[in-house]
Structure 1
Amino acid sequence: MDDTEGLERVPILAPAGRKLVNGDAELLDLGPPNYLLSKAMLHEANTPLWTCTRRFLLYLFWAIFVSMLIVATVILVQASRHFPPQAWWQKSVIYCLEPASFLDSNGDGVGDLEGVRQQLDFLGAIKIQVLVLGPIQKADLSGFYVNITEIDPVYGSLEDFQRLVIKAVEKGIHILLEIRDWDDNSLNSTGPPSSAENLENNETRSEKLMGALEIWLGRGVSGFHLVNTKRALLELAAEEWSAWWKDQRAQDGGLPKDNGILIVSALDGECEDLRARYSTGSGANASDAGIVISCALLGEGRNVSAQGVAGAVDEATLASGATWPGWTTGSLDPPQDEDLHRMLQVFLLTMPGTPLLQSSIEPGLATSHDWWREKKSRFQLLRTLLAMRSKELAFLRGDLFLLANTTETVAYLRSWTCSAFLVVLNFGAQAQVLDVQPPGFMPQAFIALGSRLDRRGDVRLQEVALGPFEALVLKLSVAGRI
């Protein structure tokens, strides 16, 4: 009997083939199939040749895998070295809520702190993370701030404020306090100073200011927005805040996780100098003390025009290199025209740095609970912009390049590693069709956001259509990338 009976047989050759005879195919009989026994296969697989081949392929696989892991680790380390973690305020939009936009909770015709506490649900829903209140300090009938550490009773009590802060913490919202046009008188709790007190030096004045700010920090605020027409007082505040910051670092062995922020709104013409001296950043003289010098992108001397915006983009490009910039749209915020307001929102929130956005809650709506039910209000655009900005590193960390501008249109690029967005703005009252194809990118782009929230889908970059006062944010694809 055949001793291979019962063993599995594995065919290694096809049983038949074909040959050509006079150009025609003809079956070729190759005889009975040739079989290799499984036992023989195992024996052949264990020969030195196949054993070495398998080991080589296994080692090659692991070598490639480990190499890729090392390269990925090096890239991540290098990225973190050049792009350190951002503070909470560097990733946020600062939303300024003035008393005229406070909700009236008790029906006396004046918005109050309890009304703001009730507004936090809506503000949290649209992803507002930083809220500036004020000014809410105690003032007399002439507007003189009697004491910047006291709340004007018309807005509520200290207990109302503390309840507001507690709820804001629950909602993940940082509360900042606006302090406007203070002077030496405002730092005294006993009224105007005497003639002797007027002779106090700057050191004593700065101690009083920081003492007042520390009182509010102890009440739970995360920082301040300072507005003053006197540059000397702004400089004094920035210097004192820097000194306090250094003391905190020395005492705590490092800065606390939720360190505070000081936003200083500078006058047009003084902004760049103050930013170079005090703003947080990497410049030789820049501070690391959580100070943001906020400048008006469209200052008092500029019209709302494509040329003005192009100039602002150029200035922002220079400013973002060494310091962390802060921006507002100046006295134009909020403008009366709804389409223009929406376009400027897109402009402000796609620029580098920390934007300061003025309240979009109309005072007439702030006296009732109906304001948040406005489903088609500008808050939908704000919420969409905030969501896009928070998840796209091109807007949080990316470079800024001005691509093109005409008398009525502006286009600029925001890019970071593999992510790139093109922002196109039409400042004209007529529709425009633009060729904004940047080099190195695919000719098709995706409409990530339109200022009117009515456009989605793909668009050809050589013929981008814009309506009057319309902005588009286009997501680009790198040429050659699948």
Structure 2
Amino acid sequence: MKRPWWQSAVIYQIYPRSFQDSDGDGIGDLAGIERRLDYLVALGIDAIWLSPIFPSPMKDFGYDVADYCGIEPMFGDLATFDRLLAAVHARGLRLILDFVPNHSSDQHPWFVESRASRDNPKRDWYIWRDAKPDGSPPNNWISDFGGSAWEWDAATGQFYLHAFLKEQPDLNWRNPELKRAMFDVLRFWLDRGVDGFRIDVLWHIVKAADLTDNPPNPDWTPARTERDRVLQLHSTDQPEAHAISAEMRALANSYGERLLVGEIFLPNERHARWYGSVERPQVQLPFNFQLIENDWKADRLRTLIADYEASLPAHGWPNWVIGSHDAPRIAGRVGEAQARVAAMLLLTLRGTPTLYQGDELGIGRVDIPADRIRDPQHLRQPQLDIGRDRSRTPFPWDDSAHAGFSTGEPWLPLNADWRTRNAAAQLGEPGSMLSLYRDLLALRRAHAALSVGDIALLDTTGDLLAYERMSGNERLLIALNLGGGSVMLPRSGDHRPVRCLLSTRGVWDLSDTLAPNEGAIFELEDD
């Protein structure tokens, strides 16, 4: 059976501001990404996802789009993009763009027109409402960045809705003209040759028509974000959004094998609905963030893997991620030893994995001085220590000035250990984190059991997480020790390990035990 390319692929997320600068301004750009493509080929990934590169005032670093069909000048221009796309395709890779459909920048020409007057033709392209009789916002919805999700516009005497910053007004997908305009954006980039889209906050794009108050969250505490004071029952995951998702998929399918990845934070049963049906499919990969959101414990991971797999429709394909531009670094969360185990977990589970730039080097927590903090989410709720700058720091390429990232001062500080923790140093070190990622990715290519095979979780206890991957006559055992003591390898029926293909410790041997913080992949044969 011929499978679509994305089922066996590994996606690599690039945060363009922080990957490679080509002009010395301290900010990464498209020409810099093109310069580093051979590194990605050697790493062994299949597709690149670029965080937003469109013109933007950068209030939320590109997720406030001022022109959906252009390139932000600090990154390059359309000609630069076309060269990058051609270079990506010439190397056998694919390119996925970040599509931001829920909101635009308040400097987008559409919003400038919309707020010009109540009778402007584009007024209904955004969500405007009158104040309540007491002058308060139309409902109790809370911005994901804290505070009311409504902003008063004195010039026209109404509030507009913004799920994020006030500089990011929400688009009204119930307006057919707005919807057509946004589908034209997708066509613009598909016509240019992109291989798909990661769709930002897809589950947000339609709101309940009557804008009913969200119910209070009985489990909220001050340790959680202000957004979580209410349950987003009416402001997210509306039935009409699924219909739009299906239309996006139909459009993408009309261009051939194009991939849609949906950013969706929902419980399993609601998350699975975003696959759609066989007759009316939606996004191929509703992003699965559970390895980021849960405790790093073997029993917890075993349960969530089983529950997630069980929730998938028969036509649904799983996907996994352990890091992103929004999440704390995996090595900062679990330590370097367990970050190696996490790499093996990510790249051996059934489904399509997404890597985040720098995780393959084991970059940990990066402390950002107060005067260098840039993230608006942190600046609005500093008491929660939820800043995203720490995962967006520049990529360290070597031990030259500014780690080879730029000839100028980087826009964010580098990881403190960049002189030793950089790509050049790790390329020459057989036991390095980078070498482990390259070896794991090579194994995925060599063994169909790892890339597209079935999975069977083993019934283990304590710190051991183990499962088998099977394809045809091939049977592999993945055993992961999530603790600081040695553990016995599990027994799998009549099958026994006959060869160790790879260990996170770099020592490939056949033993009855796993060392502390060790993961290993074994070939199995019948006794």
Task: State which of 384, 388, 398 in structure 1 corresponds to 2:439.
Answer: 384
Where 2:457 maps in the other structure, the secondary structure is strand
1:456 corresponds to: 508
Where 2:499 maps in the other structure, the secondary structure is strand
Partner Cα separation in structure 1 for residue 395 and residue 191 of structure 2: 34
Task: State which of 334, 339, 342 in structure 1 corresponds to 2:340.
Answer: 342
1:325 corresponds to: 318
Task: State which of 393, 396, 402 in structure 1 corresponds to 2:457.
Answer: 402
Where 1:447 maps in the other structure, the secondary structure is strand
Question: 2:102 touches 2:205 (CA, 8 Å); kept in 1?
Answer: no
1:71 corresponds to: none
Which structure dedicates a bigger proportion of its chain to helix? Answer: 1
Whether 1:426 aligns to 2:481 is: yes
Task: State which of 109, 119, 124 in structure 2 corresponds to 1:199.
Answer: 124
Instruction: Note closer, same or farther for the CA distance 1:248–1:340 as it changes in structure 2 (3 Å cut).
Output: closer
2:302 corresponds to: 310
Cα deviation digits, residues 145-187 of structure 1 (max 9, x gap): 2223222212122211111111111111101112347415589
Count residues in correspondence: 377
The two structures have a TM-score, normalised by structure 2, of: 0.65
Partner Cα separation in structure 2 for residue 304 and residue 391 of structure 1: 29
Task: State which of 97, 109, 112 in structure 1 corresponds to 2:14.
Answer: 97
Partner Cα separation in structure 2 for residue 214 and residue 187 of structure 1: 23
Whether 1:447 aligns to 2:372 is: no
What amino acid is the match of 1:403?
Answer: L
2:162 corresponds to: none
Question: 1:343 touches 1:451 (CA, 8 Å); kept in 2?
Answer: yes
Instruction: Note closer, same or farther for the CA distance 1:218–1:416 as it changes in structure 2 (3 Å cut).
Output: same
Partner Cα separation in structure 2 for residue 318 and residue 213 of structure 1: 33
Partner Cα separation in structure 1 for residue 271 and residue 28 of structure 2: 34
Instruction: Note closer, same or farther for the CA distance 1:217–1:227 as it changes in structure 2 (3 Å cut).
Output: same
- CA RMSD of the aligned region, Å? 2.8
Gaps spanning 5+ residues in structure 2: where? 126-173, 207-236, 364-393, 406-421
1:365 corresponds to: 396
Partner Cα separation in structure 2 for residue 445 and residue 309 of structure 1: 27
Within-5 A mapping of 1:19-418: 84-143=1-60, 144-180=64-100, 182-183=102-103, 189-192=109-112, 193-194=114-115, 195=118, 196=120, 197-200=122-125, 201-228=174-201, 231-233=204-206, 239-240=243-244, 242-243=246-247, 245-246=249-250, 256=256, 259-267=257-265, 269-270=266-267, 272-278=269-275, 284=277, 287-288=280-281, 291-300=284-293, 302-320=294-312, 322=314, 323-329=316-322, 331-336=327-332, 337-360=335-358, 363-365=394-396, 368-369=403-404, 371-374=422-425, 375=427, 376=429, 377-418=432-473
Look at both structures and tell me which one has the larger radius of gyration over its CA atoms: 1
2:519 corresponds to: 471
Question: 1:410 touches 1:424 (CA, 8 Å); kept in 2?
Answer: yes
Deviation at 1:124, TM superposition (A): 0.9
Question: 1:138 touches 1:145 (CA, 8 Å); kept in 2?
Answer: yes
Instruction: Note closer, same or farther for the CA distance 1:121–1:378 as it changes in structure 2 (3 Å cut).
Output: same
Where 1:295 maps in the other structure, the secondary structure is coil
Where 2:291 maps in the other structure, the secondary structure is coil
What amino acid is the match of 1:357?
Answer: L
Partner Cα separation in structure 1 for residue 523 and residue 106 of structure 2: 50
Partner Cα separation in structure 2 for residue 446 and residue 198 of structure 1: 66
Which structure dedicates a bigger proportion of its chain to strand? Answer: 1
Partner Cα separation in structure 2 for residue 86 and residue 333 of structure 1: 32
Instruction: Note closer, same or farther for the CA distance 1:198–1:392 as it changes in structure 2 (3 Å cut).
Output: farther
The two structures have a TM-score, normalised by structure 1, of: 0.71
What amino acid is the match of 1:339?
Answer: A
Question: 2:503 touches 2:518 (CA, 8 Å); kept in 1?
Answer: yes
Cα deviation digits, residues 375-421 of structure 1 (max 9, x gap): 23422222211121123222233222221333322111112231111
Cα deviation digits, residues 33-71 of structure 1 (max 9, x gap): xxxxxxxxxxxxxxxxxxxxxxxxxxxxxxxxxxxxxxx
Instruction: Note closer, same or farther for the CA distance 1:427–1:97 as it changes in structure 2 (3 Å cut).
Output: same
Partner Cα separation in structure 2 for residue 410 and residue 339 of structure 1: 16
Instruction: Note closer, same or farther for the CA distance 1:238–1:130 as it changes in structure 2 (3 Å cut).
Output: farther
Deviation at 1:247, TM superposition (A): 5.8
Cα deviation digits, residues 81-104 of structure 1 (max 9, x gap): xxx311111110111011243211
Gaps spanning 5+ residues in structure 1: where? 1-83
Instruction: Note closer, same or farther for the CA distance 1:320–1:421 as it changes in structure 2 (3 Å cut).
Output: farther
Question: 2:489 touches 2:514 (CA, 8 Å); kept in 1?
Answer: no
Deviation at 1:129, TM superposition (A): 1.1
Partner Cα separation in structure 1 for residue 107 and residue 188 of structure 2: 12
1:40 corresponds to: none
Partner Cα separation in structure 1 for residue 292 and residue 445 of structure 2: 27
Cα deviation digits, residues 333-383 of structure 1 (max 9, x gap): 433222222211111111111111111266251555484422234222222
